[in-house]
Structure 1
C-alpha cells in the first residue's frame, strides 16, 4: 500500500495506479472547491483502492457524491456521520459514463432520484468529453462553454467560479456490476 499526501497523488498519474491501494496521509475537504472531488472522480474511474478521511462536511447532499470512493471516517462528529452515510449509500458504477464512437452514454442510478440514462451524440458527445478532461471554462471552445449550463442543469457538472467538474466517472474497467449496466 502506498501512503501519499493528496497533492502527490494528484500529480502521480492515476492511470498507473489502477487497482493499487493508496492511503492518503492528510484528510480531504471535498466541499472546498473542486480539486478534492476531481481527485475522487479520477481515483474512482481508475479503480484506485483509496483510503481517505473526510475533513469537514461538504455542502452537497451525500447522494450527489455517493458514486465516488467513500471516506473511511471523518475528522469531527458531523464529518463522521456524513462519511458513514456516504459509505452506506456507495455503490461502484452507480453514476458513470461510457464512451463510444460518436456517442457517450451516462447512467445515473444514485439513490434518492429516478434512474436516468442519457445518450449524448455527435458534437454534444465531443463537448461532454472535452468538459471531462478540462477543469476551467476558459480551456473550452465557445460551443462547449455554452453546454456547461445545460450539463449543470442535468446534474452532470459541478461549477465553482470558472472551474467545472464532470461528476460521473468514466468506466474504464469491465465488467460493470450487473445492477449498473
Structure 2
C-alpha cells in the first residue's frame, strides 16, 4: 500500500501592507511597530483592516498597542467599548500597566466570533462577540451590500454619496463597521475555515 500524499501546501496569504509593517513566518505574523487602533482616522482603519485580514486567514498575530494610544490610555469606559467592538480580531500582546479591558480581550478572543460569507448577491454575517446577544444578518439590500464591499478597504466616508454615507451609518449602528474621524472599515472577516481544525469552507 502506497503512503497517502501530503496535503497541498497553503500559499502565504497576501496581507495588506499599508500602515502596518510586519513579518510573516508560517502562521505567525509579527507587527514591527505599535498599532494605534484607538487613535481613529485612516491609520487606525487601515490597521483594523490588517488585523481583520489576518483573522480571516486564522493567523497568529503578535502586536502591541502604542502606549500613548487612547486604546491604552483612554477612559476605562471608552477602552472597554473599543475592545468589545474589536474582540473578534487578534488581541494585543500584554504590556505592563495595560487597561483590564485589553487582558479581557485576550481571554475572550476566539476565531469565528464575527465573520461573513459571500453569496452571489448577498452577504451573511454571524456575530458572537457578545454570547448573550448573538445575531445573524443577511445583507442583501443593494446599497448596504455596496457599502459593505466598499468598506473592505479603509474608506473616507466623506467621499461617498449620500446613499453610501447612510448605508455606512447603518452598518456602524449594527457594529458591523467602525467609523472614526471620518474613516470607515468593515469589521467581519471573510471566514475561510470553520472554527474546527482541518475544515475548509
| TM-score (norm. length: structure 1) | 0.77
Query: Per residue, is there more helix in 1 or in 2?
Result: 1
What secondary structure is seen at the aligned counterpart in 1 of 2:118?
strand
Pairwise CA distance, 1:163: 0.5
> Stretches of 4+ moved more than 6 A in 1?
none
Q: How far apart are the structure 1 equivalents of 2:154 and 2:36?
A: 21
**Rg (Cα) greater in structure:** 2
Q: Secondary structure at the match of 1:41?
A: helix
Root mean square deviation of aligned Cα: 2.8
Q: State whether structure 2 residue 77 is matched by structure 1 residue 53.
A: no
Three-state SS of the structure 1 residue aligned to 2:34 is coil
| CA distance in structure 2 between the partners assigned to 1:22 and 1:136 by the alignment | 27
Equivalent position to 1:65, from 86, 91, 98: 86
Q: Which runs of 5+ in 2 are unaligned?
A: 1-16, 72-77
1:92, distance to aligned residue in structure 2 (A): 0.8
Q: Is the 8 A contact 2:51 2:90 kept in 1?
A: yes
User: Kindly tell me: are residues 60 and 156 of structure 1, through their superposed partners in 2, closer, same or farther at Cα, counting changes over 3 Å?
Assistant: farther
Structure 1 unpaired stretches of 5+:
none
**8 Å contact kept, 2:56–2:190:** yes
Give yes or no for the alignment of 1:26 onto 2:69.
no
Query: Hey, which of these two has a bigger chunk of strand by percent?
Result: 1
Which of structures 1 and 2 has the larger relative contact order (alpha carbons within 8 angstroms, sep 6+)? Answer: 2
Across the two proteins, how many residue pairs are aligned to each other? 166
Tell me what 1:170 maps to: 190
Corresponding residue to 1:110 among 129, 136, 148: 129
SS in 1 for 2:130: coil
**Partners of 1:174 and 1:24 in 2: CA distance:** 23
Q: Deviations over 1:76-116 (max 9, x none)?
A: 4124x333211101011101111111010111101365000
Distance change in 2, residues 1:112/1:174 (3 Å)? closer
Cα deviations by residue, 1:19-51 (Å, 9 ceiling, x for unpaired): 631222322221112233232222212333211
Q: Which residue pairs with 1:137 in the alignment?
A: 157
Residue 39 to residue 137, structure 1, CA distance change in 2 (3 Å): same
1:18–1:126 distance in 2 versus 1, CA, 3 Å: farther
Separation (CA, whole Å) in 2 of partners of 1:122 and 1:150: 12
